[in-house]
Amino acid sequence: MNTPLDPRSNRCAVVGILLVLGSLLTGISHASSRDQKALRPFPQVEKISGTGPAPGNANRPQLNAAIADYYAYWKSKYLIASTSIPGAWKVNYDRKGGTVSEAMGYGMMITAYMAGQDPAAKNLFDGLNAFRKHFPSKINPAFMCWKIPAKESPRRDDSATDGDLDIAFALLLAHTQWGEAAYLEEARVLIGAIGRSLVRPDFSIRLGDWNDADGQTRPSDFMPLHFRAFQKATGDALWNKVEEKSYSILSQLQARNARDTGLFPDFAILEGGNWKPTKAGFLEGPHDGEFNYNACRVPWRLGWAAERLDDERAKRILSPFMEWMVQRVGSPPLLVDGYRLDGSPVKGGDPGSACFISPTGVAAMVTGKQTWLDKTCAFALTSKDLYYQDSVNLLCLLVMSGNAWMP
């Protein structure tokens, strides 16, 4: 939903081999109390269920140690204490202390997954959860206000669907990780609100609680693993229908608009019974109908579902996408930050953005692209950039290493 700030600045050089990043930041902790015992501590090192293998250019202990170090870097750079809520934490989205619901969802998932490695993980998760509840949407207070300024002054704004989907999923992770029933109850309440307010009668996903118009959606909000987890947590068959609708929309967008590339648009609309990319300026800017800073996350979301659920629908959608990647882009570091759906790069597009590159590593896992996967993982472990790139990068590393388990 949120176009990242300065997406082309501060690029990191690509290192061709997988390295352990070192222990420079591993001792940093944001809380003094010890973490409650983690029931699923990092690292999990689970058997990968998808068709493609795990990264092959380092052994698992090396890979997990490198991810732990990357988390220490991410934590020290982006997790900051609230200036107005005692004990609360937020993710520093804009380098000035502001945050967004998307960032809070990422932070809550990351801290839940890193419990066991980080003794402060539960404290941090609870602090992030407390912060997001302090700033409700002006339309539906079940959801988080999408943007909070650095001064944390009361903000009367609406919601963004992606943030609340990730927050709900993170609460399910927390229930599984620490065993507290309160997390599950919170998750069920939020999931119920999402189902009532953000899912249309045709099971497509709204952009936020402000989005009253029909036939508008954002493919990066299609999170099949989340929907499956929601169904399991609530018993509500609605989420099976949302999952199926999401795959249906993506398949139609590919078949009608990106047959040769498999690319996805940032936003899509329904016209004449068919889903199609939006025109420029639909919501966020000139690239709204292109593969840009929203849609770059789709390969991560679908690849994650294929890896955890062994879902053939996700693999079918990702296959043409990865064929185009390998044949036309050639190597992960060459991928630029934006493409038209015909595969032509946007004017001024720069290579080296982890939020574009790392999701393709997740897609490579489940489409049998071992060389691409290895190169992507090597890039991801050494890439340091801005909040959005680094957060998506870390979440993709958790999937590629088999550590992004399903609650």
Token digits of residue 175:
């229930």
Token digits of residue 217:
């959606």
Q: Please, which residues have CB within 8 angstroms of residue 109's CB and are 6 or more apart in sequence? A: 166, 169, 170, 173, 395
CB of 138 closer than 8 Å to CB of 117: no
Catalytic residue from among 94, 102, 157, 374: 102
CB of 148 closer than 8 Å to CB of 155: yes
Q: Is 307 an annotated catalytic residue? A: no
Q: Is 266 an annotated catalytic residue? A: no
DSSP sequence for 197-229: HTB-TTSPBPSSTT--SSSEE-GGG--HHHHHH
Distance, CA of 218 to CA of 204 (rounded, Å):
10
Token digits of residue 299:
């390969």
Whats the size of the chain, residue-wise? 407
Catalytic residue from among 94, 162, 288, 385: 162
End-to-end Cα separation, the chain, in angstroms: 25
Distance, CA of 334 to CA of 351 (rounded, Å):
5
Helix residue spans in 114-237 (DSSP H): 121-133, 161-178, 181-197, 224-234
Query: Measured in whole angstroms, how far is the alpha carbon of residue 75 from the centre of its chain?
Result: 16
Helix residue spans in 267-340 (DSSP H): 298-309, 312-324
Q: Give the angle subtended at the CA of 293 by the CAs of 25 and 393, to the nearest 5°.
A: 25
What residues are labeled active site? 102, 162
